[in-house]
Amino acid sequence: MHFDGELLQVEPGFDEAALRALRGRFRVNVWPTRDLYFGGVQVASTAGEAAADPRRGGLAAVFPVDPG
């Protein structure tokens, strides 16, 4: 999601009930496809988890952390 100051821009895939609730507060524009407009997210964690945004060609990998 991205609020551009006028419209809440939303990627496809959000639950319809959530979209109805959002439409009660904002003007909502649901995009027909995923798009690089929404940026990309890469996540690093010391908890042994990783995530990468497929829009940006990311790769998720977990590396052991040396506690010493």
pLDDT in tens, 3-40: 999 999 999 989 999 999 999 999 999 999 888 787 77
Q: Where are the beta strands (DSSP E) in 1-68?
A: 2-3, 8-10, 28-30, 42-44, 50-52
Of 44, 46, 38, nearest in space to 12 by CA = 38
Q: Note the pLDDT tens digit of each residue in 30-67.
A: 999 888 787 777 777 777 788 888 777 777 877 777 76
> What pLDDT does residue 24 have?
96
Phi, psi (rounded to 5 degrees) for 19:
-65, -40
Q: What is the pLDDT of residue 16?
A: 94
pLDDT value at position 68? Answer: 67
User: What are the boundaries of each domain within the chain?
Assistant: 2-56
